[in-house]
């Protein structure tokens, strides 16, 4: 891998930016900015457009439909660009965070965000959603279900009637006694990348990769 560097354009500030999601065409970026003057809460979701020269436009706050006085973070945009999944946590208790979503109207405005159903959300903490390119398979972390450790990976699939299946734990050895977060799956569904604080790493959270077991892979196109 080449050395990392800041994204060109006007995205980064002296404050905290992170948790980015890029549209399938590579031209729209969704990310989190914290404690900005125009922000609605502690952390908000912003969007920016990629210019022809490869730089990014000025970031725009996604507004009241998505951002609140609470904590919004970890966006994941669907491959068709029409549904944004993200995490919202209570301002006073971020450990009770849930999965939310908003859809894009034909008029260009995003609908007021709705909490995903209780079939997906638990009484505990949900984290780091990732909607795959099949637009049906959603991966996320949770500590509110029976698991191997603090935050485990789960997968749920969107059914034909719009409901979601009972989340499945991805099991050992993918999930361990610590935290597993930030799962991202390749377009063909075979390779996964994620962060974990498992023993033997370089620091608190390190990057890892594994071959996704076939039973947990997204729907084949």
pLDDT for res 27: 96
CA distance 112 to 63: 10
The pTM assigned to this predicted structure is 0.93
Tell me what the mean pLDDT of segment 105-118 comes to: 94
Please give the pLDDT value at position 95: 66
pLDDT of residue 158: 96
Q: Which tens digits make up the pLDDT trace of 123-138?
A: 999 999 999 999 999 9
Residue 82: its H or E element: none
Both tokens of residue 136?
């049906």
Average confidence (pLDDT) over 99-121: 95
What is the average per-residue pLDDT within 107-125? 93
Q: Is the confidence at residue 94, as pLDDT, over 60?
A: no
Give a three-class secondary structure readout of the chain: CCCCCCCCECCCCCCEEEEEEECCCCCEEEEEEECCCCCCCCEEEEEEEECCCCCECCCEECCCCCCCCCEEEEEEECCCCCEEEEEEEECCEEEEEEEEEEEECCCCCECCCEECCCCCCCCCCEEEEEECCCCCEEEEEECCCCCCCCEEEEEEEECCCCCECCCEECCCCCCCCCEEEEEEECCCCCEEEEEECCCCCCCCCEEEEEECCHHHCCCCC
């Amino acid at each position: 891998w080449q050395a990392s560097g800041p994204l060109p354009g006007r995205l980064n500030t002296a404050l905290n930016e992170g948790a980015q999601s890029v549209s399938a065409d590579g031209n729209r970026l969704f990310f989190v900015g914290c404690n900005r003057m125009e922000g609605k809460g502690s952390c908000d979701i912003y969007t920016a457009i990629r210019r022809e020269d490869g730089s990014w436009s000025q970031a725009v706050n996604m507004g009241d439909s998505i951002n609140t006085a609470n904590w919004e973070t970890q966006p994941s945009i669907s491959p068709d660009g029409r549904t944004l999944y993200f995490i919202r946590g209570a301002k006073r208790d971020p450990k009770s965070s849930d999965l939310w979503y908003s859809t894009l109207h034909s008029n260009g405005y995003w609908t007021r965000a709705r909490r995903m159903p209780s079939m997906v959300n638990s009484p505990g903490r949900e984290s780091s959603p990732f909607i795959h390119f099949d637009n049906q398979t959603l991966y996320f972390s949770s500590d509110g279900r029976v698991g191997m450790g603090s935050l485990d990976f789960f997968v749920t699939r969107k059914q034909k009637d719009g409901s979601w299946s009972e989340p499945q734990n991805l099991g050992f050895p993918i999930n361990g006694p610590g935290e597993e977060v930030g799962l991202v799956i390749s377009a063909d569904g075979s390779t996964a990348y994620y962060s974990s604080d498992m023993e033997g790493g370089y620091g608190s959270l390190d990057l890892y990769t594994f071959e996704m077991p076939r039973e947990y892979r997204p729907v084949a196109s």
